[in-house]
Amino acid sequence: MESKFNRPLAITHPIEMEDRIKLSHGAGGESMTGLIKEHILTHFAPTNDGNREIKIGIRQLDDSAVVGDTVFTIDGHTVKPLFFPGGDLGSLAVAGTVNDIAVMGGEPLAMASSFIIEEGLPMETFERVCESMGKTAKAAGVPLVTGDTKVVEKGSIDKFMVITSAFGKMSPYLKSNLDEARIYRPLDTEWLKDSNLAEGDVIIVSGNIADHGVAILSGREGYGFDTNIKSDVAPINGLIGEALKVGGVTVAKDPTRGGIANTLNEWAEKSKVGILIDEERIPLAKGTLAACEMLGIDPLNVGNEGKLVLGVVPGKADGVLAALRAHPLGKNAAIIGRATSKIRGVVMETLVGGKRIVEPPVGDPVPRIC
Amino acid sequence: MESKFNRPLAITHPIEMEDRIKLSHGAGGESMTGLIKEHILTHFAPTNDGNREIKIGIRQLDDSAVVGDTVFTIDGHTVKPLFFPGGDLGSLAVAGTVNDIAVMGGEPLAMASSFIIEEGLPMETFERVCESMGKTAKAAGVPLVTGDTKVVEKGSIDKFMVITSAFGKMSPYLKSNLDEARIYRPLDTEWLKDSNLAEGDVIIVSGNIADHGVAILSGREGYGFDTNIKSDVAPINGLIGEALKVGGVTVAKDPTRGGIANTLNEWAEKSKVGILIDEERIPLAKGTLAACEMLGIDPLNVGNEGKLVLGVVPGKADGVLAALRAHPLGKNAAIIGRATSKIRGVVMETLVGGKRIVEPPVGDPVPRIC
């Protein structure tokens, strides 16, 4: 199947492609990291220099920034279609931002939303998205306190995009969680940073991977496949809270664009430690696997919107796993591997008994999943 | 001139226009307020209820929210063209958000930016905008600490949009400023809320109005008029700081979409007091006035991006005016009127000696100015 997301970009711009923005620059993988490092940090980062209040800034390329005792994040949502099995633009816009605060060890306190709407959007569509945002905000326990609305002329934007921002403070469970980890090894940080992973830490995923990306595709016209797969979109601040109460969590991430392959490669690179995972243990629904095989995409690279990947000190892994499984969003949680200095990067022991390198994805194979 | 922004929307959608989003819904005037009250608050506001930390929430429709001791805002920027006389998407995106925090009496501490980019955007364009953001952030003294990047396929968005969010704390000058105002009258608030204006308060504007909207139009193709007018886009956190140091400021706003007509009508409605202004005193460049006359638009309704409108207790008005004039961004500051309970709404004494009602604008006459 020659699908849209595989079309060679060079067809559109045969010349000077290197000097233009490509879809992969926004797909959450290596290409996006390159764009940020080469073209954004040059201009933004100098303004951070010398400001000791910035504990985690834009240079760290983490899920949120930490300024003083405030955790802060923003996320644009351009999902297509607006409504898909299991969710919609509204639930996604709220969950995505809540989750970015939560995986730093933050407790989100309030959200803001910016609407960019195409002239002519049916009011009913607009209101359904607002309703979904309100419901998801209520489920997460995080109020929407301010916003902005822009309407652009027909053809200037594809229907409707929602950008959300949130701020929060440190989770009340974070300090004791890190103290529990320190019983096992030194850990010089106040927050769940991508660079915290160390030799021996156990990797846990909170449930079936890749459902979100597959649900998005099945919701698009012209893909010609039928699945019962629903997006996992959900706020996971409650779920991570249960893990932090147990303690020993050193690093956390919601594996969105680029999937768990991207998450694990970011950790391996920033923490300077290898990660060995076991294919057999990775929770994956049969229908999702079948769809990925049909589309020729790797489920490890497909985005999730309600999952949590954790690194946990060995002595606490079973306790954290049990806590996740006791939560409605973590029933299928599983230990999928561990950090080891014996390898570099991310390596997977495959079902057939071999080993393969899990490459950092260039980007997510499914465009506009979030 | 039959300009784009005047084209009747009904041509595009002859039927059921009432059930669709219109350009005016995002233009900052009465139409937008209606959309928020009827279609957004219904779903968002219930999540605020009972949360005593929310001092100023979405119901107040103010420039920013206040949660606990944190001021918080978000603003989407869809300006067209991306580069215009006096500024660009980048300077606008930073100044707009800094200013929303500043006019609440807040001191912005950090900013986040969300990029939504059309595939194929020249990298040079992208980088020029980033550079401008960095420079403006430096000028404002507010670091860009985190961000998000989405790229959508060609045709899904008009080139490039930047959404910024910021949080801050109370300005160190706000408390003493309000205490100065309390010498003249009771004032039951900790913040510069739109509802603070009272009988006798003097209205000050920090300089020439309507330059931004006219500069945007002159930067567009096909408008066939030449001016030397430049956008006033600038962060005004320093300017308002000078006013607060003097004290006695009760309310402040940056008069963006819908211009000073919208600002003054919002104050009159929320503060339940009339406002009388004097046309002769309103600072306005000759070229801007000429352009507005040619286009048939009212400069009072045209947006600004680096101006400040203040309400000040009478005893402090001259001091505040002098402080504004001593700042590079306030050289043309002027007292333009006062609040009075003798009238309702906003009324202007005209140059020809009559009086006219300054209606709350349906929206800004220039679309996509910010």
Query: Would you say B366 and B298 are in contact if contact means Cβ atoms under 8 Å apart?
Result: no
CA closest to A63 among chain B residues: B146
Kindly state the percentage of chain A with pLDDT values over 90. 85
> How confident is the model at residue B15, as a pLDDT?
46
pLDDT for the residue numbered B9: 38
Pick from A234, A202, A213: nearest CA to A307: A234
Q: pLDDT tens for residues A131-173?
A: 999 999 999 999 999 999 999 999 999 999 999 999 999 999 9
pLDDT at A14 over 50: no
Contact A76 B110 (CB under 8 A): no
Percent of chain A with pLDDT over 70: 94
Q: Give the per-residue pLDDT at A8.
A: 38
Mean pLDDT score of chain A: 92
Q: What is the pLDDT of residues B25-57, one digit of tens each?
A: 999 889 999 999 999 998 998 765 678 899 999
Please say if the pLDDT value at position A54 is more than 80: yes
Give the ipTM of the model, two decimals please.
Answer: 0.93
Average pLDDT over residues A100-104: 97
pLDDT of residue B48: 59
Q: Which residues of chain B have pLDDT under 50?
A: 1-15
CB atoms near residue B170 (< 10 Å) = 17
pLDDT at A223 over 90: no
Chain A nearest C-alpha distance from B279 (Å): 30
* List of residues 6+ apart from A221 with CB closer than 8 A: none
| Coil, strand or helix at A288 | helix
Would you state the structure tokens that stand for residue A347, as one six-digit string? 């390596």
**A153 → closest Cβ in B75, B113, B367:** B367
Dist. CA A257–CA A99, nearest whole Å: 13
pLDDT recorded at residue A17: 60
Contacts of B138 in chain A (CB under 8 A): 46-47
From CA B94, how far away is CA B135, in angstroms rounded? 9
- Comparing CA positions, the residue from B77, B81, B96 lying closest to residue B232 is B96
Give the strand order in the sheet containing A65-67: A54-56, A65-67, A70-77, A160-170, A106-118, A144-152
CB contacts, 8 Å: A47 with chain B? 134, 137-138, 142-144
For B117-138, what is each residue's pLDDT tens digit?
999 999 999 999 999 999 999 9
Note whether B43 contacts A130, CB cutoff 8 Å.
yes
How far is it, in rounded angstroms, from Cα B367 to Cα B35? Answer: 17
Which residue do the tokens 């449930």 mark?
A: A207
Which of A119, A146, A148 lies at the smallest CB-CB distance from B76?
Answer: A148
Residue A2 has pLDDT above 60, yes or no: no
What number is the average pLDDT over the span A74-100? 97
Predicted pLDDT at A49: 64
| pLDDT confidence of residue A220 | 87
pLDDT of residue B221: 75
- Residue in chain B lying closest to A96 (CA): B148
Nearest Cα neighbor of A95 from A305, A315, A326 is A305
B355, B347 contact by CB (below 8 A)? yes
Do the chains contact at B145 and A35, CB–CB below 8 Å? no
Q: Quick check: helix, strand or coil at residue A364?
A: coil
Least CA distance to A124: which residue of chain B? Answer: B19
Q: What is the pLDDT of residue B255?
A: 97
Which stretch of A246-255, A358-367, B345-354 has the lowest confidence by average pLDDT? A358-367
How large is the average pLDDT for residues A361-365? 89
